[in-house]
Structure 1
Amino acid sequence: MTGDQHTQVVIVGGGQSGLAAGYHLRRLGLDFVILDAQAEPGGAWQHAWDSLHLFSPAAYSSLPGRPMPLQAGETYPDAGHVVAYLTEYERRYEFPVQRPVRVSGVHQDGRFLRVETDSGSWHARAVISATGTWWRPFLPAVPGRADFRGQQLHTVEYRNPRNFAGQRVVVVGGGNSGAQIAADLAYNTELTWVTQRPPSFLPDDIDGRALFNVATARRRALDEGRTDTGGVASLGDIVAVPPVRETRDAGLLKASPMFVRLERDGVVWADGTRAQADAVIWCTGFRPALSHLAPLQLRGRRGHIATVGTRAVDEPRLHLLGYGDWTGPASATLIGVGRPARDAAREIAALLAV
């Protein structure tokens, strides 16, 4: 496709959030296109590390309208099963997905928003940004990072422990990815797991369904002016999925405090203690991938786009979906994105009816 095309709504991103938005736009009878930078369906899930599993059983990990099927032999489906589910979901509803199409910028253009891509431009009455965070990994500014001579990689680049067998590996990060990757490496590497504060495991019986309910209750309390419940953060930081639980209970998942700097062959703590390392894996999180929205000049002083629900305050034709609690309780999860996707679609339908 080249040239200039028109539609009512452009969805930027063909992962779980973009598909959930497409489902609800289709139900409302709106015309839309999904522009996905990936060559294949499945969003970020197709790039995850080999041992990654969902936090919830399949029954509690579904997009709207289509339950995720069970995975044989697995209580918590793996990333490959999620990719297969998203692929089938997209085909089932015959969504108008164009890929690979990379969006370079969204611009105001009179009564339209103009979406520039590497294969032409689109004019739309509304845009849903659903690009997620996987494509913008965050690396902290730790002194000496440029001096370290070993291998450094982020969560997005880690695949499995085979390439690290017998090596001295430092895993940095006290969230779910840090705990899961540390557990992955604990049996065949000399592992040092480093966290900013002591790791806090959620109760073993808590999974993604319960987390979604807690996040939703917190959002409801805030919306009604009641006391902040603390949400998921009040329960802990790490979901004790089976591999993490087993490694923890075996005494192999013990965290050290954060080091203060790297040097050529390892890391150094505040008291002068050193540990040699062949590799450092930074499980230090992500930032929203929003560079395509820069032409709209919506970011505030701290780079944050103000929203009411999913709608951008200063550009009501733009909705942001799937970036976490910022754009809806648990909206970065499979089960959590359905509700804000529905709300966004309804607001867009109302806007187009004017």
Structure 2
Amino acid sequence: MTRRVDVVVVGGGQAGLAAGYHLRRRYLDFVILDADAAPGGSWQHMWDSLHLFSPAEHSSLPGRLMPVQAGESYPDAGHVVDYLTDYEKRYDLPVQHGTRVDAVRRDGDRLLVEADSGTWRARAVISATGSWSRPFLPAAAGRGVFAGRQLHTVGYRRSADFARQRVIVVGGGNSGAQIAADLALYDHVEVTWVTRRPPRFLPDDIDGRALFDVATARRRALEEGRPDTGGVASLGDIVAVPPVRAARDAGLLNAKPMFSRLTADGVQWADGSRSGADAIVWCTGFRPALAHLAPLNLRGPRGHVPTDGTRALDEPRLRLLGYGDWTGPASATLIGVGRPAREAVGQIHALPA
């Protein structure tokens, strides 16, 4: 049986919930289909030591401030999961957990959303699947030769899992720095951090509040036809959260240039020397999880769907929300997703019934 609604939201993490909040306020008939069995989006899969870049009051979805976490200036991932769980219940959002969407197709003046629980027919779809389910691994020389353990950021949980091991962490972004710091501050791990270029730490007084302001200033400049300010990327790559700062100041977070290849028992450096390793943690980023949109044939360069804000240029009934700056400045953050969610829902509300 095909069910009919105004809007199907694919993904029940922070972006999907923000969309749901605004859909509820517009009195639209909608459903949120989420592959995870429980609320919390990707936050429920993060490593144990992860904390937000911003205080709770600057990490909120529309309509509901995140409560302060006792004893923590920057809330941890578990606190975010609790907040998102409460948010979903507070606004009575119709989230169907444990529902995987396989495809979105055109069907006359509607879109068909095919899920493992059945098919939905809607006049609009909001894709909010994020990128956590699609980790990126580079084509590094010798990766298939290395006999030790290899894992991506998504598989990392805690430093104690690597006790008495030699670990190489690859990646110069926030995940690489935080995981390298987590391991470096644990006495029983020998960690080597490698990056393709020297790491760029943001000033210590910069956190998520300032980053959001910088992203907002860039958006305003572009909208007004002024020169591009460069946004967050102009400041640096790594937020110096307390554990990263502690490891850096203790001299434990000194990055080496990228190795030239992996060997059976470690890595080989550019000068021909070798180092042994028991594990490699690839903190090499993600790609947008858009396989469900393949039947629409919308993909452009780098796997992105060309958009104007959140609107897919070649499919006006589709909105993409929360994938990064190409779908709204800071839209992949808790505080940043509210505005593009409101705009997307407003545009959908204006579509012909």
Give the shorter-chain TM-score range: over 0.9
Deviation at 1:131, TM superposition (A): 0.2
More deviation, 305-314/270-279: 270-279
Residues 170-209 of structure 1 aligned to structure 2 (within 5 Å)? 170-186=168-184, 187=186, 188-209=188-209
Residues of 2 paired with 1:267 and 1:339: CA distance?
45
Residues of 1 paired with 2:246 and 2:229: CA distance?
30
Q: TM-score, normalised by structure 1?
A: 0.98
In the alignment, is residue 119 of structure 1 matched against residue 121 of structure 2? no
Q: Identity over aligned residues, as a percent?
A: 75
Deviation at 1:29, TM superposition (A): 1.1
Q: TM-score, normalised by structure 2?
A: 0.98
Residues of 1 paired with 2:302 and 2:287: CA distance?
12
Residues of 2 paired with 1:50 and 1:177: CA distance?
13
Counterpart residue number, 2:279: 279
Counterpart residue number, 1:212: 212
In structure 2, relative to structure 1, the CA distance for the partners of 1:23 and 1:352 (3 Å cut) is farther
Deviation at 1:301, TM superposition (A): 4.8
Unaligned runs of 5+ in 2: none
Output the amino acid matched with 1:253. Answer: L
1:144-164 CA distances to partner (integer Å, 9 max, x unpaired)? 000000000000000001110
Residues of 1 paired with 2:115 and 2:131: CA distance?
20
Deviation at 1:302, TM superposition (A): 4.0
Counterpart residue number, 2:306: 306
Residues 1-354 of structure 1 aligned to structure 2 (within 5 Å)? 3-186=1-184, 187=186, 188-352=188-352
Residues of 2 paired with 1:148 and 1:272: CA distance?
17
1:195-230 CA distances to partner (integer Å, 9 max, x unpaired)? 111111101111111101111111221222221111
Residues of 2 paired with 1:302 and 1:196: CA distance?
20
Residues of 2 paired with 1:301 and 1:286: CA distance?
15
Aligned residue pairs total: 351
Residues of 2 paired with 1:284 and 1:303: CA distance?
16
Residues of 1 paired with 2:303 and 2:66: CA distance?
36
Residues of 2 paired with 1:127 and 1:301: CA distance?
22
Aligned alpha-carbon RMSD (Å): 0.8
Residues of 2 paired with 1:159 and 1:59: CA distance?
26
Unaligned runs of 5+ in 1: none
Deviation at 1:77, TM superposition (A): 0.2
